[in-house]
Amino acid sequence: MIYAFDDFELDLARAELRRGGAVCPVEPQVFALLALLLENRDRLVSRDEILEKIWEHRVVSNSALTSRIKSARRALGDDGKVQRYIRTVHGKGLRFVATTQIRSRQQPLPSPSAAPAEPAEPSQAVELAADARPSIAVLPFRTHGQAGDWLSIADGLPHELVTELSRLRWLFVVARASSFRLRSDNIEPCEVGRLLGVRYCLSGAVEVSRERLTVTTELADTAGGDVVWAERYAGSLDDVHSVREQICASVLAHLEIRIPQHEASSARLKVPDNLDAWSAYHLGLQHLYRFNQKDNAIAADMFGRAVRRDPGFARAHAGLSFVHFQTAFLRQASDVDAEVAKARQCAERGVDLDPLDPFVNFTMGRTYWLESDLDRAYGWLERATSLCPNYAQGLYAKAWTESMAGAALDARAHLSLSMRLSPLDPLYYGMLSARGLTHVTLGEDLEAADWTDRGARAPGAHALIALIAAAAAQLAGQEKRAQTWATDVRRRLPGVTRTDFFQAFPIRDPRQRQRMAEALAQLGFKGALP
């Protein structure tokens, strides 16, 4: 898709701004800003929307946003006084005002004197491209220094990663027999993409020195060669097998987050009507974990698009299940029972389509949580983590269930593992809060207050997480902090009751249930216990 205005062209497919056919260099965020304004040229784009779409709600200064706007205007030969293309509506946002045409990308016509081209033979890359899932090739790792007897790690570790990544049902992993043929220190990610038809390339290096093993890993986007994620690991050769296991678990957990994030960022540059099923799904994930009504509605729309484009897409059905779970969990609908039924129906459809997908089993387990059936919830969550032992969100949800059932120590072990596996998880705030509940069960009130306070302050934490922090602070005798969190809850979730809390968190452990109920009552949250 190309947006044309005056003598400019903004080419979304190539991520290029051109003037008179010549490329105008712009920073990625400046290009993303121009694309956002052009795609929404029929309306005002607020500053909050710009921060959400370009910076994904990360904390940035006003000067950073102002700088990007100035750079966008400068690239177009515009400025804040003339505002020929980008108009500022003071205190509200921006709007693209130039007359714009939309062109589809076409191949140039052949020269009359040119000989007709021979039809290209179908390649492996073309065949792989037909699969809409994100795809990856894991290359044999390079070696530095005198690896000696440890040379096999350079092949053995990536071989294990191929096996582990293949368990992620949403990711297409090229077989070792193909990816290990690209054994070179100088091969570029773009070349890997061309030869194997993959979107991502995972490479690495192994160095052995003075009884220490050092492994570096790097995930690259093969379209432009950009590094998406990189990490360095080190450990003693005396404990090499433990180090190897830790590396595999860490890489798997990071890719589970980094690839969907990158897919969503790429999808934002596409015109919404042209989103394919996977792009729509990943955009839905970006909104799903924010736990507010507006973003949940956007996630529902994106997952709905994905299902319409690919009715057999199990994860999109699971995403819809999560949407309805969230609506019921936060009591955002008048008919909560209907939302619970929809969550179950969508999860069941996902299980029918792909019973081996961990995320699908995860969403099925959460639907039983809504019905206070912790035993059946635990069974499905146990299945999710059996299918993928390093599935951080599955471990986290299982730990919640264990905590509410009174198995505080088991829950704590699973929470520690999930936090190690996924320190940037969008549900990390829930991991912190669940850890706090384990301390409530054991009567460790100061620790409970500390963990739940950290959870409530973490990015993305919703009002019910703040309610847990209020109750824990009350139990610890921190009345001022408890009242502060209680006020915050009432502001964000007016009318919430103690009944609502226990319907969202079906605590079965009698000690934890009684103590939380008393603390909530002391803070003025009334209501019968369900």
CATH of the domain at 213: 3.40.50.10070
Task: Let me know if 202 is exposed, middle or buried by CB neighbors in 10 A (0-12, 13-18, 19+).
Answer: buried
137 and 244: one domain?
Answer: yes
361 and 476: one domain?
Answer: no
Residue 369 lies in a domain: yes
385 and 434: one domain?
Answer: no
Scored b (16 or more CB within 10 A) or e, 3-28 reads bebeebbbbbeebebbeeeeebebee
223 and 286: one domain?
Answer: no
88 and 149: one domain?
Answer: no
Give me the number of domains the chain comprises. Answer: 4
Q: What is the CATH number of the domain that holds 94?
A: 1.10.10.10
91 and 183: one domain?
Answer: no
Residue 372 lies in a domain: yes
Q: What is the C-alpha to C-alpha distance for residues 128 and 174, in angstroms, rounded to an integer?
A: 9
Torsions phi, psi for 137 (to 5 deg): -120, 130
Give the residues across from 10 on adjacent strands. 3, 17
Residue 528 lies in a domain: yes
Residue 21 lies in a domain: yes
User: Of all helices (H) and strands (E), which one includes residue 159?
Assistant: helix 153-165
Q: What is the C-alpha to C-alpha distance for residues 90 and 95, in angstroms, rounded to an integer?
A: 11
Domain of residue 517: give its range. Answer: 410-530
Sheet containing strand 45-46, edge to edge, reads: 45-46, 93-96, 86-89
Pairing status of strand 172-173 against strand 135-138: parallel
Please identify, among 359, 389, 419, the residue that sits at the C-terminal boundary of a domain: 389
280 and 369: one domain?
Answer: yes
One DSSP character per residue, 27-74 reads -HHHHHHHHHHHHTTTS-EEHHHHHHHHHTT----HHHHHHHHHHHHH
One DSSP character per residue, 278-296 reads HHHHHHHHHHHTT-SHHHH
Residue 295's closest CA among 507, 66, 57? 57
Please identify, among 218, 250, 282, the residue that sits at the C-terminal boundary of a domain: 250
Q: What is the CATH number of the domain that holds 343?
A: 1.25.40.10
The residue whose two tokens read 């509605």 is 297
Q: What is the C-alpha to C-alpha distance for residues 152 and 492, in angstroms, rounded to an integer?
A: 56
Q: Length of the chain in residues, anyone?
A: 530
Please identify, among 250, 280, 309, the residue that sits at the C-terminal boundary of a domain: 250
Give the residues across from 172 on adjacent strands. 135
How far is CA 56 from each of CA 13, 69, 261, 266, rounded to the nearest angstrom?
Answer: 22, 17, 10, 13
381 and 451: one domain?
Answer: no
Q: What is the CATH number of the domain that holds 452?
A: 1.25.40
Other CB atoms within a 10 A radius of the CB of residue 423 amount to 14
Torsion sign across C-alpha atoms 354, 357, 359, 361: positive
Residue 75's closest CA among 18, 1, 35? 18
Scored b (16 or more CB within 10 A) or e, 103-126 reads eeeeeeeeeeeeeeeeeeeeeeee
Instruction: Identify whether the C-beta of residue 125 lies closer than 8 Å to the C-beta of residue 194.
Output: yes
Residue 163 lies in a domain: yes
Residue 363 lies in a domain: yes
492 and 530: one domain?
Answer: yes
Instruction: Identify whether the C-beta of residue 312 lies closer than 8 Å to the C-beta of residue 350.
Output: no
Q: What is the C-alpha to C-alpha distance for residues 183 and 191, in angstroms, rounded to an integer?
A: 12
382 and 446: one domain?
Answer: no
Amino acid at 518: E
Residue 473's closest CA among 436, 434, 505? 436
Residue 394 lies in a domain: no
209 and 275: one domain?
Answer: no
Q: What is the C-alpha to C-alpha distance for residues 397 and 431, in angstroms, rounded to an integer?
A: 9
Q: What is the pLDDT along the chain (530 residues), one digit of tens a residue?
A: 688 899 999 887 667 899 988 888 887 778 888 888 887 887 888 888 787 777 655 566 677 788 888 889 999 998 878 888 999 888 788 999 888 887 654 433 333 333 333 333 333 333 333 346 788 999 989 887 665 666 677 888 888 898 888 777 778 888 777 788 787 667 888 888 888 888 999 999 988 877 788 899 999 999 888 888 998 998 887 877 788 888 888 898 888 888 887 887 777 666 666 678 888 888 898 889 888 899 999 999 999 999 999 898 999 999 999 999 999 998 889 899 999 999 999 999 999 998 888 899 999 999 999 999 999 999 999 999 888 887 888 999 999 999 999 999 999 999 998 888 787 788 899 999 999 999 999 999 999 999 999 999 998 899 999 999 999 999 999 999 999 999 999 999 898 999 999 999 999 989 889 999 999 999 999 888 87
223 and 309: one domain?
Answer: no
Could you give the 3-state DSSP secondary structure of residue 251? helix
**Is 0.95 topped by the overall pTM?**
no
